[in-house]
Each structure stands twice: as C-alpha cells, then as structure tokens.
Structure 1
Amino acid sequence: MNILNSLLTIDKSQRPAVYLQIANQLMEHIKNGKLKPGYKLLSSRDLSAVLGVHRRTVVQAYDELLAQGWLESVSGSGTFIASHLPQMLLQRLTDPESVSEDPIKRAGFDFSPVPMLDRPALKVTSSLHLDDGFPDARLAPLEELSRAYRSQLLTGNAYARLGYGDTKGALWLRKELSSYLNDTRGLNTSCDNILIVRGTIMGLFLVSSGLLANGDNVVVGEMGWYGAKMNFQKAGANILSIRSDQHGLDIDELEALCKKRKIRLIYVTSHHQYPTTVALRADRRIRLLQLAEQYGFIIFEDDYDYDFHYLSKPLLPLASADPAGMTLYCGSFTKAISPAFRVGYLVGPENVITHLSQLRRIIDRQGDTILENTIADLLQSGVIQRHLRKSVREYKQRRDVFCNLLKDELGDQVDFQIPDGGMAVWTRFDPAIDLKLLAEKALQKGLYFADGKMHNDNRDRHATRLGFASSTPKELEISIEILKKQLKQ
C-alpha cells in the first residue's frame, strides 16, 4: 500500500478547498520528513482514485506545490518531492526538549518582556460602568459622521483621496483644526504647527522617542496617568514625582527640583488635573511657563477633556500664553465623539512638528485620511461644535445627578468635591473599605469601576475616579444602588 494512503485525510465538508487540503498536508509531511526528497508521488489519476476525488482536484494540488517549489515534475517519469530541498527542512535543528510544544503560543526564540508594559488594556463590557471618564457614544453625531465619511469615500479624485498623504496628517483637517484651536483655545497656529496623531498616547510616544534621551529627567504629578509614565520610562527617562493639591501641581516643589537637577520635560494636565480633575491655578500657570523658559524644559500639556467645563468658560491652555515656544499641546476627539475614532492632534513649533512627523513616518506612514477629512468636514460645517454644546449640557446634568446620588446614598462612606469640569468625580472612600474587593463584587453584579490602583503610586490611598458621562441618570441610579448594597454586605 502506498504511504500516501495513510498520510492524507480529506474532509469535503470542511474548509479550505479539497485541493488545498491535499497540498497543505503534502507540504506538512515534506517539512516533517515523512516524505523525503526524490520520493515519487502517485499519478494524479491513481491518487484521485485513492482519495475519492476528481482527478482535476489532485492536478490542482500538485500544480500548487510545483509552483511553490515543493515538487518537481520529470517528463515521462512522474511527479517527485523536489530533490533540491535542504535537509534542514526535514529535521529539528535544536534539542527536541528545548523546542516549544506549541509554537503558536510560545516562540522558539528569546526576548525580554518589559514589566512596566504588563498592564491589561481597559475593555469594559459590563452593562453598567462608572469608568475613567469616557463620553457617551450614544450622543455622538453618528449619522452626520456616516454621511460625511461616505462622501469622502465616493467623491473627488480617487487617486489623491485614497492614496498616500502627508505624514503630518490631512491638510484639510490641519487647516480646520488650526482655525478651531485658535478660536476656542486662544492659540496662534497655522496648519504647519499641527501633527495629526491617533490619540494622545501616540503624541506622547512620538515626543518621548523623538525628544527624550536615555537618562533625561521627566517630572510628573505623584498621581497621574500611567500611560504617560510608560512612554517616558520606555524612552529611558528618570521619572521624578511632585506633589499636587487642591490647586494643581506644586510649582514650588518643581522649582526646588529644577535648582538641583536638569529637567528635560514636565507632563501636565493643567485644565482638569488627572486623576483629581482640579485646575492648575492661574499664578501657578504663570510660574510654570516662567520656569520652563528659565530652565529650558519642555511642557507636555495633555488637555484630554478641555471642552467639558461646567462652572464657567474653559480655562485657556498654557500653550496660549507661552511666549517662548516651550509647550507641546496635545488633545483628541476621543472625549468629544468616541474612543473608537482615533484622531488627535499635537501642536507645537513648526520645527518640532516637522521633526516628529519624520519619526511618525517610520511607525505609521500616515493616519486614516478618510476619517481625518471626515472630521474636517464636521468641523467646517459646525457639527462637532454643536455636538459639544449639547454634550456639555447633558454631562453637566449627569454630573449633578451623580454627585447628589453620591452625597445622599453614600455620603457617610465617600468624600468628594463636585468637579468644575471633566467626566469623572475623584472619590475618596472610607479607609476601612477594600476598594479592590468592592470593585470585584460590583463587577459580579454588572457594574464596572476602577479600584484606584491605576491612579496611585502610593497604594494605601482609597480613592478612584468614578465616571458619570457615559451613563444616563437612570443608569447612574442603578450603579449607585449596586454600590450601596455591596457596601452593606
């Protein structure tokens, strides 16, 4: 009996196509040495009879392997396993005990994992969520966005529209953003001051990779966004933390630090300090800009939710009052529309933007030009501006409902200040409460909230961000009721 009778198994009810099943199995048996170079295969007629398939199917399989170089055909003699195949394909080159049992799951080569990157990505799937401060995608102008996106796909010069574009981002969006940011943020920009990125995290990566050197000192708040710290650490920077209080970062401590050590960059969320949501006070803003000019350090200003301020008009960013070009200003449409739409912007001096766009080219040739032009369309038509005004009113109502619920239902177990802006409430729990355990119990009841570890370097703090914007008032009521019941147990 020919060896192929036992080696080949065909299932006509399964994919891939039968000829590919034959070809793939033959290829695998050649690789593992069961079919050796020079071995003569059955004729297409004989193998088709053995397998119970049409002769043409076997011919297709043989042709596939002939084209790939696994087989060779000798006129008048038949089809053979290619004699030129090297022996390395037919044997293991390493000790079998050292070879991974499942190469799909574990590589056969060594590499060094980076512990600081070993943090799970947030993917909230529960029906209720007091998240990190995300928008409610149900409010997003999805119909307008859909129409604009379709228009970008189908109209205009297809070669230009669907081809390669500027690594800085779509020119139309940069022009619209320049006008929008100048009007709303008090900036003084042109399109050449703007680099379109996938989001703030990409802006941080580019700045860390392009402007930081190994051993540079970077200053952050003692509580802050871990995503920023990861980028700085990956670039080899030393992370120096300073305190913050009810008025934002302690600039006195920063100045004392500058007198002792050379600071390369400071990361700030000046409008709504992350995670506490407090605003950096005016006098501290002025001194921060003065110190940056005096000591020559970069200010990376992450303005992650500028548009959502409820007490008064939003505070203008540091970048609007920077006379020396020390500030890089970063924001995105993640909070304005939805995290799924990855369009953000990095604003800075032209030479820096050009430098970072060159770096961006080697990791991401360009962004989603169609989506970028769609956002430009919505900015030009005022859709995004109207959506933001509507969202601010809605989120303010939700903030008030949520804070009243916290006070009335959990007032003896939590402490908080009503935030002037943002999408979350910085909430301190009674130290006797195990936040990690409470978060686990709430999740079992369908409610997600962070246990606070992601915000605090000092793990004995009993505080976390409770997001209200992505939930309706009714959903907020149910969420607080779940917390209340779990705290009683």
Structure 2
Amino acid sequence: MSSPATVPYKSFVQIDRQSGTAIYLQIAHQLINAIQRGFLVTGTRLPGTRHFCELLDVNRNTIVAVYDELDAQGWVETRPNKGTFIIGKIDPTPQKIRNTQENQLAHYPKVTGFSFKKSNLLDNPFEHSSCEYVFNDGTPDIRLTQISHLSSLYSANLKRKSNHKKLGYYNHDGSEFFKQHLSNYLNQSRGLHISKDNILITRSTEMSVFITSEILLSPGDIVLVGSLSYFSVNMIFQKSGARIMPVPIDEEGIDVDAVRNICKTHQIRMLYITPHHHYPTTVTLSASRRIALLHLASEFGFIILEDDYDYDFHYDNSPVLPLASADSNGMVIYIGAFGKSLAPGFRTGFIVAPENLMTEMRKHLGIIDRQGDVLMEQVLGEMIEAGEIHRYLKKSLKVYQERRDHIVQVLEDQLQEFIDFKKPAGGLAVWTRWKQPINLMQLSKACVRNNLFIPKTLLYQHKELTAMRLGFGHFTLQEAENSVQLLRQGVLEQWGR
C-alpha cells in the first residue's frame, strides 16, 4: 500500500477559494475522483488530519469534515490507533498506468470511451448574431407581453393552498382543467367539435410532430410536404426514416392535382400542411382545395397532419376554418401552439386527434415528459375561462397589423425595384421573391457588416427561385424601417451601385 508521505496529494487536490462549493466538499470530491480513477488504491492510508491540513493549507476542521464525508459515502474506514484507510475493490491497474493518470484526475473526459450513432441530419440549423437588427421567420414581440400580469397570475397559483397537492403529482396526460377549457377555446375559435379526451398537451409544435411521427411513420413511408416547407418538421420526418416528397405550391396553396397524381403511383402515408398561412410563402389554402384534400385522404387512405401555424394572426378577413373542423372520417391530426401571443414560457403545444390514437400518444408522452407544468396549465386554463386570452390576442393583433402595413410600405419604398411580394393576409412575415438572381448568402454577409443579421434559414435559393422570408412581428415601426434600409444598402453593395 502507498505511504501517506509518498502520495502527491497536491497534484490532484486543487482548491478554488472563489468557488461556491464548500472547500471540504471540493477536497472530498477530488479524493473520491482519485479513488475512482485508481490513483488511490484500496488499502491506502490517508495522512493524519494535522499533516493533511498543513499540506493543503486549510483548517484542521476542514480535513475532519472531509474524512467524515468520505466515511459517510463509504469510501474510507477509520481504524483505531492506525489511521484512515481507503476501502473497496483492489484496483488491478498497474502502478505505471495509474501514474500516467495523475494529471488527468481533475478533468472531465473530452471524448467518450465508446462509439455511438451520429446524425448530421439533426445539426442545429439556427444561427445567432450580436447585430443590432435581426430578421427572423416571424415571431411575436416579447415586449408586447404584459410580463408583470402574467407573473402575478402564476405567483397567485403558486401561493394558492388548493394547488399545493397538485405540486406533488402530475398526470402526464395533462391538466384536466386546462384541457377542458382548451377544447372549448378550439371549438369556438376553430370550429372544431372535440372534448378534452381528444387533446394531448405537449411542450411545442415540434414535440407534437415528433410524437406523431414516432407512432404513425415507419422507415420508407412517404410523406408529402410543400415544395417549400418548415425545415424543423422535415428533419423530424427524416429522423423517423420517412421519405419526403415535395408538392408544388401556388397562389391557392398546395397543388391538389399534383397530390392526386402522386397518390396514383405511390403509397402515401402522410401529408403535412400549414394551410392557414403556408410556411414559408404565407399563402392560404383555398376552401375548394381543403375539401378536395379531405376527399383524397379518404380515397387513398393517407393521414393529413394539419399544423395551425399562425392561425391566430389574421388581419383582413376572418380565418378559414381548419380541415379538422370538416373531417368526418378521422383522417386529420390537428397540431398547434397555444398562447403564441404570450411570453415564451406561457406557450404550450397541443395535438387534437380521435380518442383511439390519443390513447397511444399518451403512452409516448408518458416516457418523454412525465413532469409537465401543472401550475402553468392552471394559469392558461384560467386565462381562457376569464376571457383574458382573447383580450391579449385582440390587443396584439392591432399592433401586428400596423407593423405589417408599415413594413409593406417600407419594402415598396426601398426595394420595389428588386423584389416582388404580396401583402400577407395574416401571419408575422412577408414572403419576397427577387426579380433578378442575387447571391443571398453573400447578401447576408454584406448585411452583417452593416449590423443587420439575416439567418440562412430565411434564404431560399436554387436554379428557379431566389426568395427570402422576412419576419416583422418583433420589430417596432422604426426598427423595421432601419432594417429594410440596411437590407437595401447590402443589395446596392452587392451590385456595385
């Protein structure tokens, strides 16, 4: 066994006096680390407390606390009149190999000691920048949210004694109170005919798509999407092993004739659509095509996964009711996000489907998200019950409509010679097509130099298309004007004007 005098403790016990972790715990953890790595082998006698405190320049009571901690965790034993010894299995690692580990004891491994599957498909597509102005794909403005009011609602629920029992147990199926009010809200606003038993509460739209894909898609299944579609959802489909097949999009939405022709030659499992405001082009699927798609789904037996993307943001006309409101054959799964006009922490996702499928979905949710947020769901349910969610939305819609009208005017003034676009009837973004091809990646780099960031996820360019999706919801009127001016400056630099 090693003598206490021959073990170089100071080489692997390093004290950080600025750390929030107590010094005795720092020492104890590093000694345990040394034992686990095999540097301090079974039978090693630790130095006496007086000698060890002098060695590490700490108070003797600190070392006593270290030994008590090691003893409590079962790493050492104190033998009367003999000292404190490391206990456990005898380490078979040769001393020479253990010595080479000496300088590694305080570091976490940089790589695993085993192989694992890697996915380039799931590489994070999102970018971030420190530029003052940033275009996005159309997100709400957090500054419009009444944070103080929302926090007071949450705080009130946290303090309410009747809710204390709920904190110790969460039904991963979701709050019955929230589901009841959410089903009422969706019935009134979307023309659905559902009960709380048709709803699954999730964290986000992406989680809803993931659960749906896990249950309904198998490797090799064909999923139809718009020729331009939401990249995150496509990634989920591909991760499930599905084959994505694009379908053309025009001014009335997805081309139903093209869908029918594909169905005649292929076995289609699912069609994913964002009919209210197609992502990224913002066009609305016409009423006639909605009916036609329902007929095709029944005829050829494919699932329609309907995403209510930006359903709440309509400015000029009443929203067209979703396909799910007219589905009588159980072919449509309806997914979306509730509370998008609220602060991010107060938003949630949902899935609407027939009860037999909902039973299976709850199983999957139960193994990936058992905890949930019972208090948040209670708050959201109360907001629906009191009508506050309608007031939030009504107030924010006025602001977003003004911002839409303003950025449309600014785009016409600043970029009319370069781009074509139509004023969107809803949503929080404008779809722009360039009249002449321009290298969008180079344009993005030029804009960064001018303090404007345009993420690559907003850029759409191939042989037949040069387009950008420009979100305006998060901009004030002045910020939108400044951003478009910087974009124009980047364009002029690109073309040497």
Tell me the TM-score normalized by structure 1.
Answer: 0.92
**Alignment match, 2:363:** 358
Alignment of 1:88-487 (within 5 A): 104-123=109-128, 126-333=131-338, 335-451=340-456, 458=462, 461-487=465-491
Q: How far apart are residue 113 of structure 1 and its match?
A: 1.1
- Structure 2 gap ranges (5+): none
Q: 1:263 corresponds to which letter in structure 2?
A: I
Per-residue CA deviations over 1:408-440 (Å, capped at 9, x if unaligned) read 111111111111111100111244422112222
Distance 2:18 2:152 in 1: 40
How far off its partner does 1:480 sit? Answer: 1.0
Which amino acid is the alignment partner of residue 382 of structure 1? G
Q: Secondary structure at the match of 1:241?
A: strand
Distance verdict in 2 for CA 1:309–1:356, change over 3 Å: same
Give the Cα–Cα distance (whole angstroms) in 2 for the partners of residues 473 and 74 of structure 1: 77
1:88/1:149 CA distance change after superposition, 3 Å:
farther
Contact 1:70 1:85 in 2 (8 A): no
Partner Cα separation in structure 2 for residue 476 and residue 90 of structure 1: 67
> Aligned equivalents of 2:297 and 2:491: distance in 1?
46
Matched residue of 1:62: which SS? helix
For residue 284 of structure 2, give the secondary structure of its aligned residue in structure 1. coil
Cα deviation per residue 1:262-315 (whole Å; 9 max; x = unaligned)?
111110001111100001111111110001111111111001110111221011
Paired-residue identity, %: 40
Give the distance between the partners of 1:317 and 1:89, measured in 2 at CA: 70
Preserved contact between residue 169 and residue 195 of structure 1 (Cα < 8 Å): yes
Q: Sort the Cα spacing of 1:443 and 1:12 in 2 relative to 1 into closer, same or farther, 3 A.
A: closer
Q: Which runs of 5+ in 1 are unaligned?
A: none
Q: Contact 2:334 / 2:352 at 8 angstroms: preserved in 1?
A: yes
In structure 2, give the amino acid aligned to 1:257: I
Whole-angstrom CA distance in 1 between matches of 2:129 and 2:351: 27
Q: C-alpha deviations, 1:197-229, integer Å up to 9, x for none?
A: 111101000000011122211111110001111
In the TM superposition, what is the alpha-carbon distance from 1:452 to its structure 2 partner? 5.2
2: CA distance, partners of 1:381 / 1:486: 48
User: 1:127–1:447: 8 Å Cα contact kept in structure 2?
Assistant: yes
Query: Contact 1:140 / 1:338 at 8 angstroms: preserved in 2?
Result: yes
Q: What is the CA–CA distance in structure 1 between the aligned matches of 2:381 and 2:63, rounded to whole Å?
A: 55
- Length, aligned pairs only: 484
Identify if the C-alpha distance between structure 1 residues 55 and 459 changes in structure 2 by more than 3 Å, giving closer, same or farther. farther
Distance 2:59 2:275 in 1: 72
Counterpart Cα distance in 2 of 1:92 and 1:114: 35
Aligned to 1:13: 17
Asked whether the equivalents of residues 439 and 448 of structure 1 are also in contact (C-alpha less than 8 Å), the reply is: yes
CA deviation vs aligned residue, 1:26-47 (integer Å, no higher than 9, x gap): 3344345443332222222332
Contact 1:10 1:18 in 2 (8 A): no
Within 2, Cα distance between the matches of 1:354 and 1:399? 41
Structure 1, 49-58 or 216-225: larger mean CA deviation: 49-58
In 2: Cα distance, 1:91 partner to 1:31 partner: 16
Partner in structure 1 of residue 66 of structure 2: 61
- Picking from 6, 9, 34, the partner of 1:3 is 6
Bigger mean CA deviation after superposition, 22-31 or 40-49: 22-31
1:70/1:81 contact within 8 Å kept: yes
* Contact 1:170/1:372, CA 8 A, preserved across alignment: yes
Q: 1:169 to 1:25 in 2, by over 3 A?
A: closer
Contact 2:459 2:469 in 1 (8 A): no
One-letter identity of the residue aligned with 2:474:
S
Q: Is 1:329–1:347's contact at 8 Å kept on the other side of the alignment?
A: yes
* Contact 2:458–2:469 under 8 Å retained in 1: no
CA RMSD of aligned residues (A): 2.6
Aligned-partner SS, 2:229: coil
Distance 1:10-1:297 versus aligned 2 partners, 3 A rule? closer
How far is 1:242 from its partner?
A: 0.9
The CA distance in 2 between the partners of 1:199 and 1:29, in whole Å, is: 43
CA gap of 1:90–1:27, structure 2 versus 1, over 3 A, is farther
Distance between the aligned counterparts of 2:155 and 2:480, measured in 1? 35
Cα drift, residue 22 of structure 1: 2.8
Q: Which moved more, 1:66-75 or 1:147-156?
A: 66-75
Give, in whole Å, the separation in 2 of the partners of 1:206 and 1:58.
52
Q: Answer with 293-302 or 447-456: which moved more.
A: 447-456
Given the superposition, is the C-alpha separation of residues 225 and 83 from structure 1 closer, same or farther in structure 2, using an over 3 Å criterion? closer
Q: Output the CA distance in 2 between the equivalents of 1:416 and 1:230.
A: 28
The one-letter code of the counterpart of 2:256 is: I
Tell me the CA shift for residue 459 of structure 1: 6.8
1:157–1:307 distance in 2 versus 1, CA, 3 Å: same
Work out the CA distance in 1 between the residues paired with 2:489 and 2:362. Answer: 52
Give secondary structure in 2 for the equivalent of 1:117.
Answer: coil
- 8 Å CA contact retained: 2:147, 2:343: no
Paired position in structure 2 for 1:87? 92
Report deviation, 1:464. 1.5
Which residue number in structure 1 is paired with residue 43 of structure 2? 38
Aligned partners of 1:216 and 1:264 also within 8 Å: yes
CA contact (8 A) 1:251 1:288 kept: yes
Q: Secondary structure at the match of 1:395?
A: helix
Is the contact made by 2:418 and 2:436 (CA closer than 8 Å) also made in structure 1? no
